[in-house]
Amino acid sequence: MNGQDIYKFVNSELSNLSESVESIKLGSFNLQLWIPIFRLVGYCLLVLSLFDIIEQFIPPGFMNPAWEFKTMGMLVERTPVPLLGFMLVFAGGLDWRNKWELILLKFLSWLTLIVGILYLLLIPVGVMNTIRLNQASTAQIDLQSNQQTAQASEFEKQVNQATPEQLVNVLRQQGQQVDGKNPQEVKSQVLSQVAQAKDRIKTQATDNIASRRLTLLKNSVKWILGALVAGAFFITMWKSSYWAR
């Protein structure tokens, strides 16, 4: 390669480098135009999240495990909105900021730490409410089952103590036709049906308890793990926004 070729090669590389620099400058300029819009969207998302939280807490239902559990689920399910809002607000660091934003950024940075801690505190609350709701649900189903079993047992007692004439009247009150049938045979059939009904009541109660418990545990695990992840992300965001403090 002679001197003229080297000169052409250097000029070509310098021209490419100049184009790259101009492209970077243009990209930086375009980013500068978009960052204020990103921040505006971020502020909007944070305000909308605040409205959702206020709505959920009016009226408050503290010490009510069902309300606390539902509120925990709402907060966890809607975590992406405030998380994205904070990310967009912090976009671009301190560049292209108004003076009033500097104080607001400091407040928002500390707010991410507070929010992160609150999410972590939801974990023991969620565990306790899961236990309380499971106990309440089990007690409710057991009460209904015992009432139905008691009614069946009372009917069984009436059938056992009834004379043939009384048995006919009792069965007619239940909407059953006994004309032309052997009273003793009918009595045996009725007692067998009552025994089967009592077994069904117990089985249905057991199935309902298991079904409700499974649904409760699925939501509890999802929301507890979600609270853990959300808390960790908000605290990480607080650490990453040290420049705002």
Number of domains in the chain: 1
Share of the chain above pLDDT 70, in %: 81
DSSP string covering 221-237: HHHHHHHHHHHHHHHHH
Position 80 pLDDT exceeds 60: yes
- The torsion of the CA quartet 178, 180, 186, 189, rounded to 10 degrees, works out to -90
Beta-carbon contacts of residue 160 (< 8 Å; ≥ 6 apart): 191
pTM for the whole structure: 0.79
Stronger pLDDT, 176 or 194, i.e. the higher one: 194
User: 205-242, pLDDT tens digit by residue?
Assistant: 999 999 999 999 999 999 999 999 999 999 999 999 99
Residue 11 banded pLDDT, cuts 50, 70, 90: low
Residue 10 banded pLDDT, cuts 50, 70, 90: very low
Cα–Cα separations (whole angstroms), residue 194 to 154, 155, 183, 210, 220:
10, 8, 16, 24, 38
Residue 162 banded pLDDT, cuts 50, 70, 90: confident
Nearest to 208 by CA among 142, 150, 148, 154: 142
Quote the domain boundaries for residue 172: 3-244
Residue 177 banded pLDDT, cuts 50, 70, 90: low
